[in-house]
A and B are shown apart, each in its own frame.
Chain A
Amino acid sequence: ILSSQHPPNSLNTLIEILPHFAQAEWLAVRSRLKREYLLQYNDPSCHGVMEDPALTRWTYARSANIYPNFRPTPKSSSLLGALFGIGPVLFWYYVFKTDRDRKEKLIREGKLD
């Protein structure tokens, strides 16, 4: 269904516009992919690895093409960043500083080691 919240792009146009034809379209795509895969799988002269384009897209999206596939939200970026990036560093800094100062004081006064 075309609406202002889902601007059409090539990925979801078909499925959005033609709901009751979408399943047939998708089935056609899937069976074409499976046919190509089975042809390569059973071909005795097939030399090399059979490439899965979906896997290639997935690894590329995970490693090199992150920004178009990722939208930083306050929860995902600010909260997680503070919780795992800044918070622990400050926390452990104060923990180690106080512990170390206490130890230095004890060493200076001769009560330890």
Chain B
Amino acid sequence: MLKFIIPTIMLMPLTWLSKNNFIWVNTTIHSLLISFTSLLLLNQFNDNSLNYSLTFFSDSLSAPLLMLTMWLLPLTLMASQSHLTKEPLTRKKLYITMLITLQTLLIMTFTATELIMFYITFESTLIPTLIIITRWGNQPERLNAGLYFLFYTLMGSLPLLVALTYLQNTLGSLNFLLLQYWAQPLPISWSNTLMWLAYMMAFLVKMPLYGLHLWLPKAHVEAPIAGSMVLAAVLLKLGGYGMLRITSILSPMTEHMAHPFLVLSLWGMIMTSSICLRQTDLKSLIAYSSVSHMALVITAALIQTPWSYMGATALMIAHGLTSSMLFCLANSNYERTHSRTMILARGLQIFLPLMTTWWLLACLANLALPPTINLIGELLVITSTFSWSNLTIILMAMNILITALYSLYMLITTQRGKHSHHINNLTPSFTREHTLMALHIIPLLLLSLNPKIILGFLY
């Protein structure tokens, strides 16, 4: 594991000591090399875990998420090049340092064995993200966004610290590999109810669950492109990863406690999808679509069947790549028109036809077109919720319909139709932007050929 962490930490001296016109090249290429390292070494299946040491392990659940995290750093660096050109050199290097710090902490979070270390790095990822949102966002609303983001997530996760400390005191160790075998079934009582809530609230706020999702549209919309990408693709999955891990030690109580949250996420799925149909702000639409997809993951994680766990992990990876790609596409529009309004840059197929290809692929992936992994995830979740209770099929079917509606609405508004007549001076697409989109969609399409590596530990 040090073979990932030390090179990633060493990216920081690389940025500060590189020559001025080489910082972007150096950091992007080196982070790409580090991500290739993760690709080669982490493919594993079944229930085995690869134990690097007493402090780090990787599982077939954390390996795909780790690969996603490490793949995303070069992509975020590529995406940020354009909006940072006017900044002074020190601030550019600071921005890259924030991204690298975030990356290191995320690697440690996904591979932590000891749950307290997981908690510490889980919380520490908030700080670089907060700095990126509040310092480099574009509108004055970013301050409000940073506040909501920090305090929602912090308030949700403080009870988790208490619960983990209690578990350490009773069981003696919080080594996750041992916990799976030591944990006693939880009898139903009021204090155990509170403990269940303490464990789950942190991850439910992070996912986010429908009633606690207010921070997400603000944070995603106000963040700069790298912040949005990392938030949507990885930080939300921290919540999903935590939920999938922690439900294994909370076992029989979840069936009774999960009902309110299941209903909230099932209904919230439809509500947030419907809000997407009414959005005028492109980034806001993609943010609400993230909430909707993550509600599916919450549903799957709370049902606790093998198929639903496979669907949850597949959905997390698929949504990470798709949502990050959609944010990059929205950012390419924003850099040209300096506005997030959808109708301002419409009918772009005439002007930027190759970018239309990427828009098409991203929107089709978002609406879970076969044979992408989005579909595999959604299908597994839908069938497992159907076996949980037959009536969920009504809500799930409505959600699929509305997801298709807003994805196609987004595609048609930005690409098709008559173009707005004052955008006759759009700069053509850069090769960097095409590379960025290609590097998002190629893993997604390749995974459709071999989805078993992202199906998690119950495959």
Closest to B262 in A: A96
- Tell me, yes or no, whether A55 is within 8 Å of chain B by CB: yes
- Tell me, yes or no, whether A62 is within 8 Å of chain B by CB: yes
- Tell me, yes or no, whether A27 is within 8 Å of chain B by CB: no
Pick from A41, A59, A96, A103: contact of B259, CB under 8 Å: A96
Neighbouring A residues of B141 by C-beta, 8 Å: 64
Interface residues of A in 40-57 (CB under 8 A from B): 40-41, 46-50, 55-56
Assuming the A-B contacts A59-B280, A99-B391, are A89 and B339 also in contact, with contact meaning beta carbons closer than 8 angstroms in the complex? no
In the assembly, what is the distance between CA of A95 and CA of B394, in Å?
12
> What 1/0 flags go to B416-438 for Cβ under 8 Å of A?
00000111010000000000000
- Tell me, yes or no, whether B388 is within 8 Å of chain A by CB: yes
In contact, B422 and A41 (Cβ under 8 angstroms):
yes
Assuming the A-B contacts A63-B284, A97-B259, are A84 and B271 also in contact, with contact meaning beta carbons closer than 8 angstroms in the complex? yes
- Tell me, yes or no, whether B263 is within 8 Å of chain A by CB: yes
In contact, A88 and B267 (Cβ under 8 angstroms):
yes
- Tell me, yes or no, whether B281 is within 8 Å of chain A by CB: yes
Pick from A84, A92, A100, A103: contact of B266, CB under 8 Å: A92
> What 1/0 flags go to B336-349 for Cβ under 8 Å of A?
11111100100000
Neighbouring A residues of B422 by C-beta, 8 Å: 40-41, 49-50
In the assembly, what is the distance between CA of A81 and CA of B248, in Å?
36
In contact, A92 and B395 (Cβ under 8 angstroms):
yes
- Tell me, yes or no, whether A26 is within 8 Å of chain B by CB: no
- Tell me, yes or no, whether B260 is within 8 Å of chain A by CB: yes
In the assembly, what is the distance between CA of A42 and CA of B207, in Å?
49
Neighbouring B residues of A88 by C-beta, 8 Å: 267
In the assembly, what is the distance between CA of A59 and CA of B277, in Å?
16
Question: How many chain A residues touch B (Cβ–Cβ < 8 Å)?
Answer: 24
Neighbouring A residues of B284 by C-beta, 8 Å: 63
Neighbouring A residues of B264 by C-beta, 8 Å: 89
Closest to A48 in B: B425
In contact, A96 and B425 (Cβ under 8 angstroms):
no
In the assembly, what is the distance between CA of A63 and CA of B141, in Å?
10
Neighbouring A residues of B340 by C-beta, 8 Å: 59
- Tell me, yes or no, whether B390 is within 8 Å of chain A by CB: yes
Neighbouring A residues of B338 by C-beta, 8 Å: 49
Task: Give the most central of A47, A93, A103: most B CB within 10 Å.
Answer: A93
- Tell me, yes or no, whether B392 is within 8 Å of chain A by CB: yes
In the assembly, what is the distance between CA of A40 and CA of B266, in Å?
50
In contact, A89 and B262 (Cβ under 8 angstroms):
no
Closest to A99 in B: B389
In the assembly, what is the distance between CA of A94 and CA of B34, in Å?
50
Q: How far is the CB of B288 from chain A (nearest CB, A)?
A: 12
In the assembly, what is the distance between CA of A103 and CA of B387, in Å?
10
Pick from B267, B281, B337, B388: contact of A49, CB under 8 Å: B337
In contact, A55 and B259 (Cβ under 8 angstroms):
no
Closest to B141 in A: A64
In the assembly, what is the distance between CA of A48 and CA of B425, in Å?
7
Closest to B222 in A: A64
Pick from A49, A84, A95: contact of B339, CB under 8 Å: A49
Q: List 26 A-B contacts (CB under 8 A).
A: A40-B422, A41-B422, A46-B425, A49-B337, A49-B338, A49-B339, A49-B344, A49-B422, A49-B423, A59-B340, A59-B341, A62-B280, A62-B281, A64-B139, A89-B263, A92-B263, A92-B395, A93-B259, A93-B260, A93-B263, A96-B259, A96-B389, A99-B391, A100-B259, A100-B389, A103-B389
Residues of B within 8 A of A (CB): 139, 141, 221, 259-260, 262-264, 266-267, 271, 280-281, 284, 336-341, 344, 388-392, 395, 421-423, 425
Known: A49-B344, A100-B389. 7 other contacts (CB 8 A): A47-B425, A55-B341, A55-B344, A63-B284, A84-B271, A97-B259, A103-B389
